[in-house]
Amino acid sequence: MDVLMRGVRGSIATPTPETSLYGGNTACLEVRADNGQGLFLDAGTGLRGAWPNPPSSGEAHVFLTHGHADHIVGLWFFQPLHMPGWTTYLYLPEWLMLLPDFFCQCGFFPVPFDQLKGRVIRCPIKAGDSLTLSSGVAVEAFAAQHPGGCLGYRAMADGSVLVYTGDHEILPGEAARKAAGDLLRGADLAVVDAQYNSADYQPGFGHSAWEDWLEAAAQAGVKRLVLTHHDPNRSDHELGLLEKSLLELTGGHDLKVQVAHDGLRLILGAAGPRGPADPKQPLSQYSYRSMYRLGFKPGTIKTS
Ligand SMILES: [Zn+2]
Ligand SMILES: [Zn+2]
């Protein structure tokens, strides 16, 4: 399974010099099975860079966690929605089936959603639902703790398990901490909402402190934990310090932890590093630039 972080910022996009290294695009993950077919989890601004020049026809699958702007605003800029040969399956939490229409009716986007050139099939999804896509990727939805409701997703393919929490707050108390561990159980890779740290955590705002995820992931036996949905006020300098402290904290432990950045790509399972998921546009130039400036080598990280 091939996982590409296309957007790692929470709440609002941050196209500023102070955040350009880790990236300012809002929530979006691209997930592909070893056969090259895949899906997108969330449709923040990070979705815009996916398939800028897609083939004339195809099938896309986009799963939304909830309706907050940082998770949906990129949907209208997803190229397949504007191409007659494409069918996009849009998996909407069941309470959001009319969300695309409301946005257009309010003047958010000039073209009514039902008049887009591409075919869109809306699929209601709720916690507890599971389905297997034609790509072979199995997806399960679970309830996340977030104001207004939110879904998280567990994606399974090629013998690997990815857990993406969407927006999720680990509330104080033993029960909530145990529940967070249960969400992550069995994950080879867990990508989690770590907007806060224990010092700036805002109870009830719907997001977690990264320290709590460390505890939950260790309990659940997660192999690799990726912290995402960074607070819009979190600068590159601060995230860099966090990354450094995580290395020191987890060095020598079974649990690997890292801070997500736009363009971070992880390959799970025995298939090992392969070519880019989309050879025409493996990563945006923006992502490459960010990685170079951070001193990362563009490429892949094998996790098993
Ligand atoms: Zn969010
Ligand atoms: Zn939210």
Q: What pLDDT shows up at residue 281?
A: 38
Ligand 1 center to 93 CA (angstroms): 15
Beta bridge partners of 153: 141, 164
Grouping H, G, I as helix, E, B as strand and the rest as coil, residue 212 is helix
Q: Which two tokens stand for residue 300?
A: 């892949």
| pTM score, whole prediction | 0.89
Ligand 2 center to 229 CA (angstroms): 10
* Dist. CA 210–CA 220, nearest whole Å: 15
Ligand 2 center to 90 CA (angstroms): 18
Ligand 1 center to 191 CA (angstroms): 13
Task: Find the ligand nearest to 148 CA.
Answer: 2
Exposure string for 59-87, b = 16+ CB within 10 A, e = fewer: ebbbbbbbbbebbbbbbbbbbbbebeebe
* CB distance 187 to 223 below 8 Å: yes
Q: What is the CATH number of the domain that holds 37?
A: 3.60.15.10
Q: What pLDDT shows up at residue 270?
A: 63
| pLDDT tens sequence for the chain (304 residues) | 999 999 999 999 999 999 999 999 999 999 999 888 889 999 999 999 888 788 999 999 999 999 999 999 999 999 999 999 999 999 999 999 999 999 889 999 999 999 999 999 999 999 999 999 998 999 999 999 999 999 999 999 999 999 999 999 999 999 999 999 999 999 999 999 999 999 999 999 999 999 999 999 999 999 999 999 999 999 999 999 999 999 888 877 889 999 999 999 999 986 544 444 443 333 333 344 444 444 444 344 444 4
Ligand 1 center to 68 CA (angstroms): 6
Q: Which residues have a beta carbon within 5 Å of ligand 1, which is an ion?
A: 10, 70, 167
User: What residue ranges in the chain does DSSP mark as E strands?
Assistant: 2-7, 28-32, 38-41, 58-63, 86-93, 119-125, 130-132, 138-144, 150-157, 160-164, 189-193, 224-228, 256-259, 265-267, 301-302
Phi, psi of 66 (to 5 degrees): -165, -175
Ligand 2 center to 131 CA (angstroms): 24
Ligand 2 center to 193 CA (angstroms): 10
* Dist. CA 222–CA 189, nearest whole Å: 7
Grouping H, G, I as helix, E, B as strand and the rest as coil, residue 124 is strand
Q: What pLDDT shows up at residue 288?
A: 40
Helical H segments across the chain, by residue range: 99-105, 174-184, 210-220, 236-250, 285-294
Domain count, the chain: 1
Ligand 2 center to 287 CA (angstroms): 24
Strand pairing report for 2-7 and 28-32:
antiparallel
Query: Range of 154's domain?
Result: 2-302
Report which secondary-structure segment, H or E, holds 155: strand 150-157
